[in-house]
Amino acid sequence: MPHEYRVGFAVSGRGHLFRSAVLQRDRLGITPAILVVEERSPQDLGSFCAQHGIPCVRLPTNRSALQERIYETCVAANLDLLCLTFDKIIQPELVNHYRERIINVHMSLLPAFPGRDGLGQALQSGVRYAGATIHEVDEEVDHGAIIAQCVTGIRPNDTVNALGARLFGFLRLMYLQVIAWYASGRVFKDDHGRILVHDAVYGGFPISPAVELAFPDER
């Protein structure tokens, strides 16, 4: 029997990328195993999880209680990969437990503009391009090895919302493809600690490495 590739998700906000991964689970070759969400996240995430047979854990607001709960929940879930679209810092114990198996989405072209509001920082800086990065999580904030990036041009009158909406389509495709690469065992590190994907195509625009799978529009 083939190995069940168990993926957990930690979400702040509406969880659009999480929902897309669940809807594409067969194409990605994964079993969505757990969702942990902040208390302020929309209630319909719970009903979405119930509909698709995924345990949903809503985290407490107290910081120490939140950290304890996310650690216990994610460790007990016995995950192959933990995917973050989560605006809380993950404690070192969880990073260490899932070393090289936690990935994060950050809305900037790292290493530029780490921290909060990466797109806002890009707009204020006057750069001509903005993007999103999926990277490995380590003990430093927005620091781990880069897996994939997508990019779009900045327009003179752009707002954070307009820029984010234009970027999201690329980010969704990149996010799904990265999960599929992990599930198929194609992700590795070279001798310099860089994350690479076996047989992937690098250097193209607007996503590198290039997306290989076709994902239908879910709107």
CATH class of 105-219: alpha beta
Q: What is the DSSP letter of 32?
A: E
Q: What is the CA radius of gyration of the chain?
A: 17
Q: Which CATH superfamily is domain 1-99 in?
A: Formyl transferase, N-terminal domain (3.40.50.170)
What pLDDT shows up at residue 1? 52
Sequence letter at residue 128: R
Task: Compute CA distances 14 → 79, 86, 88, 111, 141, whole Å.
Answer: 22, 11, 15, 26, 22
CA atoms within 13 A on the CB side of 189: 12
Q: What is the pLDDT along the chain (219 residues), one digit of tens a residue?
A: 567 999 999 999 899 999 999 999 999 999 999 999 988 888 899 999 999 999 999 999 888 999 999 999 999 999 999 999 998 888 999 999 999 999 999 999 999 999 999 999 999 999 999 999 999 999 988 889 999 999 999 999 999 999 999 999 999 999 999 999 999 999 999 999 999 999 999 999 999 999 999 998 776
This prediction's pTM? 0.96
| Structural contact between residues 23 and 54, judged by C-beta atoms closer than 8 angstroms | no
What pLDDT shows up at residue 219? 61
Sequence spans of domains, the chain: 1-99, 105-219
One of 3, 16, 97, 106 is an active-site residue; which one? 106
Helix (H, G, I), strand (E, B) or coil at 185: coil
Cα gap 152→17, rounded to integer Å: 19
What pLDDT shows up at residue 147? 98
Matching fold, domains 1-99 and 105-219: yes
Beta-strand runs (E) in 110-145: 129-136
Find how far residue 47's CA is from the centre of its chain.
21
Cα gap 102→9, rounded to integer Å: 10
Cα gap 208→195, rounded to integer Å: 12
- To the query of whether residue 106 is one of the catalytic residues in this protein, the response is yes
- Cis peptide, bond prior to residue 206, ω within 30 of zero: yes
Residues 6+ apart with CB under 8 A from 193: 145
List beta partners, residue 195: 189
